[in-house]
Structure 1
Amino acid sequence: MLAGLLFLIPATFFVIGVLRDRRRLSNAIWLGISMVMLLLSFAEAGRDNPVLSVPLILAFMLAVLGLFLLPLALLANGVVMLRREGRSLGNLLSLLAGLALLGEMVYFAWGILQPNDWIRGSAIGLFLVSAYIAFLFVSLLLYSVVYGRTGRRHGFDGIVVLGAGLIGDRVPKLLANRLDRAIRLYRRERESGREPVIVVSGGQGADEEVSEAFAMRQYLLERDVPDADVVMEDQATTTEENLRYSKALLAERGLHGRVVAVTNNYHVFRTAVLSRNQGLRLQVIGAPTAWYFVPSAFLREFVALLVRNPVVHGLACAVLMAGGLALTQIN
């Protein structure tokens, strides 16, 4: 009963947050807390109800199995990323995360059995820190899915396509997926009687022969999007600049209506958070991404969101680590 009542508190904050602004980062945290309290309420009810206890036990066993398989899955994905995408730091994230998780499991299993209080305390502390990070990761992942599958899908005056790296002067598959999604949105709006414009946003990188915006514009023109409906923004080098510069270009053309930004599905929620931080009112829609690319890509998004509040997360990890050490000092 108590867990069920406690579930209503974070669930209420979650609903209020979503109604106020779907792009609030705190929505993900309230969703995560709500899910934890919901599971606890089911566990409480399952103590006296076999009908509930059996699926809960099965769910727990699957969760434990998934925990042990997760580092192996991350390691395998890391190898695939290295083979297909190259040896950049971003492409190493799955591999590094898998190694870190595996190392933490081994250290916890070894350390918890040691007679030394400091070793046992550090093992418990690292476990608590890992649990905290895992909670944040799962919460953001769940809410990213919720955000990406809800919200307005039509009625836009401007469609902003966020740039991504080129291969020389060629649009790669990752960026082509964004452009194809934008074309479908554009044609659907035209069929409904609206006259949207597409803003292609992206500057020129050091290893690119042309700006991302130029290559994206050519891609659209080759697929029968009228030149008059394509606006180039070729100065942006970050997602924040993509959004800000594109919105300014739309305003210069007198377009102050509804705007949608198109990116890949793993990048949707962070883009929405950034747009809210800049005071921009827009919707964000995702395009498909190759399956093997998603784990590393979302890990990058997760890290980027964490570093926006380094003091808060740093203090939380320090308190949890200290709590683990303190537990072994209590007689």
Structure 2
Amino acid sequence: MIAFAVAIAFLALFGAGVLRDRRRFGNAVYLGLAVTFLGLGLLAEIDTAPPGVAASAMVVVLLVLGLGPVVLAGLLCANGVQMVRKEGRSPANLLSLLAGLGMFGVMGLMVAALVTHSWTLGLIVGTLLLVLGYISFLFVCFVGYAFLYGRMRLRRDADFVVVLGSGLIGGRRVPPLLASRLERGREVYESLAARGGRQPVLITSGGQGPDEEVPESHAMAEYLVERGFPEGRIVREDRSRTTEENMRFSRQLMEEAAGPGAECVIVTNNFHAFRAALMARRVGVNGQVVGSPTAAYFWPSATIREFVAVFLQYKAVNLGVCLTLILMGVLAWAVR
């Protein structure tokens, strides 16, 4: 019963956090803790379930714990190979492959510790599992809440739609990834325009990279105009080089047109939506972030990359916890 009470408490904190501001990573942690304690409560009550139900539940739990990591590592490796074949060997494209190989490496260390009965190796593995357990918990929280955030209802009171740039092909052509954002931005614009009253403005946001012939925002605007979008409703933000600059410079344009606190909907790809929302909150942009579709094979590496960026955004806390766990392992080894 205590676990259920704790789960309800964290669920209440989650609900209050979403009502206050849905763009908070704390909401993801509260939700993860609520689900964790709910699961612990259900496991504690499993002996009260009918014999057949209890036995089936235990088999499922054991299969998930035993085979789940192996299957997940294999899928990550397979996805990593696919990413390299389709997208090239950049460090970002290797993330899912490296994650899968890392998981197999940890499993190998666990087997070695059991076979050799080495106390030192067992302590290293235990410490490593504690650190990875903490990181894995945060990753599951991130993925779960990002999925939920991407399905929250679109706000209906925004006067601006901001589409974030993502690079051009051949110096001036819009690639499929960016085209997906622009089409989603058009959908959001039309949804806001249908409400009546003041017509929204669409901001294409992206500066000119060293290998680009024109600023991204100009190519994005040209893409939309060629497909019938009203040119008079487009504003080009052409100074930014990073996502944070996208936010800051677009905010300046919105405040010049509508004053401080101007409300907007920001459009990016779905794997990037939650981190972009965290960034929008940090730089003071009053906007909800929505995502456009992305190829399924691109998701694992992109999601890992997004999580790493968020993890390091709170590095003081996260690295502090990891360092504490490592020091606990070192202390246990020293006092043996």
User: With structure 1 as the length reference, what TM-score do the two structures score?
Assistant: 0.94
The reply to whether residue 283 of structure 1 matches residue 288 of structure 2 is yes
- Judging changes above 3 Å, is the alpha-carbon distance between structure 1 residues 277 and 88 closer, same or farther for their aligned structure 2 residues? same
Of 131, 150, 165, the residue aligned with 1:148 is: 150
- Judging changes above 3 Å, is the alpha-carbon distance between structure 1 residues 299 and 155 closer, same or farther for their aligned structure 2 residues? same
Of 127, 130, 141, the residue aligned with 1:128 is: 130
Note if contact 1:125-1:322 (Cα within 8 Å) is conserved in structure 2.
no
Q: Give the share of equivalent positions with the same residue, in percent.
A: 42
Which residue in the other structure is 2:18 paired with?
Answer: 18
When structure 1 is superposed on structure 2, of 248-257 and 302-311 the one drifting more is 248-257
Shift of 1:203: 1.1
| Aligned length in residues | 331
Shift of 1:73: 0.8
Deviations 1:36-64 (Å, cap 9, x if unpaired)? 10100111111211375355325412353
The one-letter code sitting in structure 2 at the alignment partner of 1:165 is G
Deviations 1:162-214 (Å, cap 9, x if unpaired)? 00011121111111111000111112222332401100001112222221111
Of 108, 111, 127, the residue aligned with 1:109 is: 111
Q: What pairs up with 1:35-50 in 2 under 5 angstroms? A: 35-50=35-50
Which blocks of at least 5 consecutive residues in structure 2 are unaligned? none
The one-letter code sitting in structure 2 at the alignment partner of 1:9 is A
RMSD over equivalenced CA pairs, Å: 1.9
Of 275, 283, 304, the residue aligned with 1:299 is: 304
The one-letter code sitting in structure 2 at the alignment partner of 1:42 is L
The reply to whether residue 57 of structure 1 matches residue 58 of structure 2 is yes
Deviations 1:227-266 (Å, cap 9, x if unpaired)? 1100000111111111111111122223654310000111
The reply to whether residue 321 of structure 1 matches residue 296 of structure 2 is no
Structure 1 residue matching 2:229: 3-state secondary structure: coil
Note if contact 2:255-2:262 (Cα within 8 Å) is conserved in structure 1.
no
Structure 1 residue matching 2:294: 3-state secondary structure: coil
Q: Runs of 4+ in structure 1 displaced over 3 angstroms?
A: 112-116, 322-331
C-alpha distance in structure 2 between counterparts of 1:246 and 1:32, whole Å: 33
Structure 2 residue matching 1:285: 3-state secondary structure: strand
Of 316, 331, 335, the residue aligned with 1:311 is: 316
- Judging changes above 3 Å, is the alpha-carbon distance between structure 1 residues 215 and 324 closer, same or farther for their aligned structure 2 residues? same
Which blocks of at least 5 consecutive residues in structure 1 are unaligned? none
Note if contact 1:4-1:38 (Cα within 8 Å) is conserved in structure 2.
yes
Deviations 1:282-323 (Å, cap 9, x if unpaired)? 111111000011111111100001111223222211222344
Shift of 1:150: 0.8
- Judging changes above 3 Å, is the alpha-carbon distance between structure 1 residues 63 and 157 closer, same or farther for their aligned structure 2 residues? farther
When structure 1 is superposed on structure 2, of 114-123 and 17-26 the one drifting more is 114-123
The reply to whether residue 239 of structure 1 matches residue 243 of structure 2 is yes
- Judging changes above 3 Å, is the alpha-carbon distance between structure 1 residues 9 and 170 closer, same or farther for their aligned structure 2 residues? same
Which residue in the other structure is 1:95 paired with?
Answer: 97
Which residue in the other structure is 1:180 paired with?
Answer: 183
C-alpha distance in structure 1 between counterparts of 2:310 and 2:116, whole Å: 36
C-alpha distance in structure 2 between counterparts of 1:126 and 1:29, whole Å: 21
- Judging changes above 3 Å, is the alpha-carbon distance between structure 1 residues 62 and 116 closer, same or farther for their aligned structure 2 residues? closer
